[in-house]
């Protein structure tokens, strides 16, 4: 299983000028590598990571934080590389439709030597749910949970307000800490690493804010023993700086490799690339609800009397005008694949038999003409420029392709803080065409995309929060709700798939590409990449001799 996930080489062509300089640098660097030697390397790993850790494990709900917590604190369940929940500190089973039992594995210990008990679990979950001041609260990860009870010192029963098959997935998000710390620790205790005590395979040695996190192996960890005795995470937010750190030999492994640098890294004999499909699909959201869309106009800039995006023919024309292969090749440097739905393959709810997205500019133009816009219209596409891989470049490329369709395109890219504030304003003007990417890892199925982005916007029920085009389809809503209470995987998958198919056929969303996770390391390090872009040291190990032979 693992071997299939790692290092599938991407077919990337090189211009002649690329090779020349690379050789020069590789030659110089190769000499330095020989001097560096291997012994120290075998025990210590330095990871260059894009995201910094928030030390308090119940303060900020973010996938990048959980990537750290799973090693330090541990959780009842943990996400595997394919974004499916696996038992970590506890084994779990479904008692009935509303109750789940979690039994702590024998011998599970905190890093202070005390055993992990059901009380610790209850205290941790409650803290995650209610921690004061937590702006990005973990409460959302415990949605539908109505009761958390310690039945005996080893067993916790979790009760839900409605049948919810996603409970094991949801519990991958919550770090477990000792009860006394959960009850009394202050924020400073976590920052100074005094309270940073968990049940994971690594202990915190030192945390230097903004700079690095130093970890040491916890030898009494009950699960599989990780290879590295010590691990240092260096926080390097800038893409180029992170790649440079790997090229310069300052770090052994990096995450979020920018696709533009992939060719060069692949060319470098000292390095290895680890890549797999991510959980994230990039897609367009048309404004399907407004009668007059705020960023649509006729070719002279005058407002149109109706919203062309409400017409499914126009939405289909947009989709047909997009050459996804070209997007993959030219924007993503091959590190993506064309998408035909907004959930990636392998996730529950993915609809297998949906045909691939077609590119046919002529048909698109005909459709646009038949919808009454033979000459096109003016349209603005809004995107972030600091949220997703290559988001701003993707935005421009989409703009190009739609302008070939005859539309007069304006491309607006904004920082995420500006973009999301404007676009999540459900009562005001948002946008007419938006670019977003949705990751489905933490649920492992289509429930996130369906509940949050496709179900009709309903504030009271908490549905459609990210349905930014206010798409609304009663049939789809019904299927989504049925999927939510289905616990059986196949049944749930069936409802989700049907809902997703209906939405795609109605062009409620226009899927673009499935992103790829790209990690890069020194050749001596092997790594299993994760769909949710986690970069835990536990997934890294020394490459065996056969894998370490030069690629060329």
Partner 1 sequence: MLRLLVRRAIEGVVVVAATSFVVFLAIYMLGNPIQVLASPDSPPEVIQRVTASLGLDRPWHEQYWRFVVNALHGDLGVSFVHAQPSLALIFGRLPATLELVVFAMIVAVVVGLPLGLVAGYWPRHWSSQAISSLSVLGISVPAFWVGLMLIIFFSLEWRLLPTGGRGATVQVAGIETSLFTLDGLRHLVLPGFTLATLPLAVIVRLVRTGVREQRRADYVRFGRAMGLSPGLLLGRYILRNVMVPVVTVMGLLFGTLVAFAVVTETVFAWPGSGKLIIDSIKQSDRPVVIAYLLFVVVMFMVINTVVDLLTALVDPRVRLQ
Partner 2 sequence: MKQSLFARIREFADSRVALAAGILLLLACAAALLASVISPQNPYDLSQLDIGSGRLPPGSRSGDGILHILGTDDQGRDVLSAIFYGLRVSLVVGVVSTLVAAVFGGIVGLWAAYRGGRVDAVLMRIVDVQLSFPAVLIALMLVAFLGNGLDKVIIAIVLVQWAYYARTVRAAALVEREREYVEAARCLNYSAPRIMLGHILPNCLAPLSVIATVQMAGAIAIEATLSFLGVGLPITEPSLGLLIANGYQFMLSNKYWLSVYPGLCLIALIGAINIVGDRLREMSNPREEG
Residue ranges binding partner 2 (CB under 8 A): 15-18, 21-22, 239-240, 243-244, 247, 258, 260-261, 263-264, 326-327, 329-331, 385-386, 392-393, 395-397, 399-401, 403-404, 409-415, 417-418, 421
CB of 464 to partner 1, least distance (A): 10
Q: Is 42 in the site for partner 1 (CB under 8 A)?
A: no
Give the nearest distance from C-beta 96 to partner 1 in angstroms. 24
Shortest distance in whole angstroms from residue 501 CB to partner 2: 30
Check residue 302 and report its DSSP letter.
Answer: P
CA dist., res. 499 & res. 203, Å (int): 44
Neighbour-count burial of 326, counting CB atoms closer than 10 A to its CB (0-12 exposed, 13-18 middle, 19+ buried)? middle
Cβ–Cβ under 8 Å, residues 222 and 109: yes
CA 86/CA 74 separation, integer angstroms:
12
| Backbone phi and psi for residue 69, each to the nearest 5 degrees, phi listed first | -60, -35
Mapping DSSP to helix (H, G, I), strand (E, B) and coil, where does residue 53 land? coil
Using CB under 8 A as the binding rule, the residues of this chain from 127 to 146 that contact partner 1 are: 132-137, 139-141, 143
Which DSSP category does 189 fall into?
A: H
Q: HEC states along 261-293?
A: HHHHHHHCCCEEEEEEEEEEEEEEEECCCCCCC
In angstroms, the CA 360 to CA 217 distance is 55
When CB distances are held under 5 to 8 angstroms depending on the partner's kind, the choice from partner 2, partner 1, none that residue 400 binds is partner 2
- Applying CB under 8 A, which of residues 28, 38, 356, 474 lies at the interface with partner 1? 28
Should residue 29 be labelled a site residue for partner 1 when binding is judged by CB under 8 A? yes
Q: 356-393 as b/e, with b when 16 or more CB fall inside 10 Å?
A: ebebebeebbebbeebebeebbbbbbbbbbebbbbbbb
Given the rule CB under 8 A, which of 52-60, 106-114, 352-360, 508-516 is the region that contacts partner 1? 52-60
Say how far apart CA 534 and CA 53 lie, in whole Å. Answer: 12
- Nearer to partner 1 by Cβ, of 32 and 299: the residue is 32
CB of 320 to partner 1, least distance (A): 29
Which residues does 471 contact at the CB level (< 8 Å), separation at least 6? Answer: 288, 289, 454, 456, 503, 508, 509
Selection from partner 2, partner 1, none that 16 binds (CB < 5 to 8 A by kind) is partner 2
Should residue 12 be labelled a site residue for partner 1 when binding is judged by CB under 8 A? no
Q: Which residue, among 424, 442, 349, has the nearest Cα to 141 in the 3D structure?
A: 442
Tokens of 210: 């903004």
Contact flag: residue 244 with partner 1 (CB under 8 A): yes
Does residue number 62 form part of the binding site for partner 1 (CB under 8 A)? yes
Q: Which does 133 bind (CB under 5 to 8 A by kind): partner 2, partner 1, none?
A: partner 1
**Total residues contacting partner 1 (rule CB under 8 A)?**
62
What span, in angstroms and rounded, lies between the C-alpha atoms of 382 and 403? Answer: 15
Q: Please give the helix or strand (H or E) that residue 244 lies within, else none.
A: helix 239-247
Q: Give the binding range for partner 1 (CB under 8 A) out of 23-31, 74-82, 480-488, 524-532.
A: 23-31
- Which of partner 1, partner 2, none lies near 239, with the C-beta cut-off 5 to 8 A by kind? partner 2
Give the number of other CB atoms < 10 A from CB of residue 247.
20
For residue 161, state whether it binds partner 1 (rule: CB under 8 A). Answer: no
Q: Residue 377 or 471: which CB sits closer to partner 1?
A: 471
Would you count residue 19 as binding partner 1 (CB under 8 A)? no
Binds partner 1 by CB under 8 A, chosen from 421, 475, 478, 549: 421
Q: Does residue 415 belong to the site contacting partner 1 (CB under 8 A)? A: yes
Which of 180, 229, 230, 221 has its CA nearest to residue 89?
221
- Name the site residues for partner 1 (rule: CB under 8 A): 24-25, 28-29, 32, 54-56, 59-62, 132-137, 139-141, 143, 187-188, 190-191, 208-212, 234-238, 240-242, 244-245, 247-250, 386, 415-417, 420-421, 424-425, 438, 442-443, 448, 452, 459, 462, 465-466
């Amino acid at each position: 299983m693992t071997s299939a996930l790692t290092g599938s080489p991407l077919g990337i062509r090189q211009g002649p000028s690329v090779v020349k300089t690379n050789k020069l640098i590789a030659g110089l660097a190769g000499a330095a590598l020989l001097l560096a030697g291997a012994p120290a390397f075998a025990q210590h790993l330095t990871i260059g990571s894009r995201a910094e850790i928030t030390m308090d494990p119940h303060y900020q709900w973010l996938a990048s934080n959980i990537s750290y917590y799973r090693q330090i604190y541990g959780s009842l369940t943990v996400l595997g590389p394919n974004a499916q929940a696996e038992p970590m500190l506890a084994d779990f089973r479904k008692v009935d439709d509303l109750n789940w039992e979690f039994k702590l594995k024998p011998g599970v210990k905190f890093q202070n030597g005390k055993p992990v008990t059901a009380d610790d679990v209850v205290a941790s979950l409650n803290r995650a749910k209610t921690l004061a001041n937590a702006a990005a609260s973990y409460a959302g990860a415990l949605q539908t949970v109505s009761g958390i009870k310690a039945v005996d010192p080893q067993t916790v029963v979790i009760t839900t307000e409605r049948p919810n098959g996603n409970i094991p997935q949801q519990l991958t998000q919550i770090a477990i800490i000792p009860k006394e710390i959960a009850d009394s620790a202050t924020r400073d205790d976590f920052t100074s690493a005094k309270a940073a005590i968990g049940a994971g395979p690594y202990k915190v040695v030192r945390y230097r804010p903004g700079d690095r996190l130093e970890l040491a192996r916890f030898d009494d960890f009950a699960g599989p023993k990780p290879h590295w005795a010590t691990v240092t995470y260096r926080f390097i937010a800038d893409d180029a700086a992170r790649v440079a750190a790997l090229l310069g030999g300052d770090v052994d492994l990096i995450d979020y490799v920018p696709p533009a640098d992939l060719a060069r890294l692949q060319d470098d004999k000292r390095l290895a690339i680890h890549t797999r499909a991510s959980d994230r699909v990039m897609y367009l959201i048309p404004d399907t609800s407004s009668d007059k869309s705020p960023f649509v106009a006729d070719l002279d800039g005058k407002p149109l009397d109706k919203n062309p995006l409400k017409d499914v023919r126009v939405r289909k024309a947009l989709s047909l005008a997009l050459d996804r292969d070209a997007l993959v090749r030219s924007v993503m440097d091959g590190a993506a694949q064309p998408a035909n739905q907004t959930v990636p393959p392998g996730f529950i709810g993915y609809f297998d038999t949906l045909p691939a997205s077609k590119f046919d500019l002529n048909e698109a133009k005909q459709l646009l003409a038949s919808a009454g816009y033979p000459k096109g219209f003016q349209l603005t596409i809004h995107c972030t420029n600091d949220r997703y891989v290559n988001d701003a470049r993707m935005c421009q490329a989409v703009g190009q392709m739609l302008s070939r369709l005859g539309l007069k395109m304006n491309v607006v890219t904004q920082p995420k803080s500006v973009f999301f504030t404007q676009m999540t304003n459900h009562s005001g003007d948002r946008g007419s065409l938006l670019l977003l990417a949705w990751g489905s890892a933490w649920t492992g199925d289509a429930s996130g995309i369906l509940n949050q982005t496709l179900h009709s916007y309903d504030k009271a029920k908490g549905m459609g929060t990210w349905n930014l085009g206010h798409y609304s389809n009663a049939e789809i809503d019904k299927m989504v709700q049925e999927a939510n209470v289905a616990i059986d995987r196949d049944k749930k998958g069936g409802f989700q798939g049907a809902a997703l198919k209906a939405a795609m056929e109605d062009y409620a969303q226009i899927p673009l590409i499935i992103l790829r996770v790209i990690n890069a390391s020194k050749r001596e390090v092997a790594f299993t990449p994760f769909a949710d872009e986690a970069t835990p040291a536990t997934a890294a190990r020394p490459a065996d001799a056969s894998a370490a032979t030069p690629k060329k």
